[in-house]
Amino acid sequence: MAGTAGTYELGRFSGVCAATGNPITPRSAFVAALVDRINDEGTPALLRLDYALSQWESGLRPDGLVCFWRSTAPQPGERRQELVDDETLMDMVQRMSDDSDQRRRAFRWILALALLRRKVLRLDGIDHSDGSEVWAFRPRGAPEGASAFRIVNPGIRDQEMAELAEQLSDVIRPD
């Protein structure tokens, strides 16, 4: 999806492999993972963890994995923010399509709504059959015949929506 406008900061590079505690050396490839965890207050929260590429490629995956992306470690003192563009966020939404975890489905829903608001997605319609509400989304600029992807409205309450939106703003902030 070339030409999309937004980029987002997904946490900051820690410089340490979450699996081993060893430093991730400058200019080396690593994997950043967004995970669903319980925070210090005992409530679910989204957290970014960094992994040395060797650990990731050995098959190691954190519990509660929501999505991940590959990057290169910055040099010490380099003021570089880890940014993810709209295309990567679209990829996250699409890769999470088969996730059955309720919190991750709610995260996917809110992420899709954020992309809809940013005009990266367009709404093709809402289907109310089978006792659920299913929204059909199509990427902006997709050919008219391209198939839409569908997301079930998870029916989260206002309080839950506010909590998830707050977590999302902690993790994905416009630059």
Q: Sorting pLDDT into bands at 50, 70 and 90, what band is 70? A: confident
pTM summary value: 0.55
pLDDT band for position 80 (50/70/90)?
Answer: low
Cα–Cα distance for residue pair 29/53, rounded to 1 Å: 6
Q: Which of 113, 162, 161 lies closest to 137 in space, CA to CA? A: 113
What band does 9 get if pLDDT is binned at 50, 70 and 90? very low
16-30, 106-120, 142-156, 161-175 — which one is most confidently predicted on average? Answer: 16-30
pLDDT digits (tens, 9 = 90+) for 32-69: 888 888 877 877 777 889 999 999 999 999 988 877 88
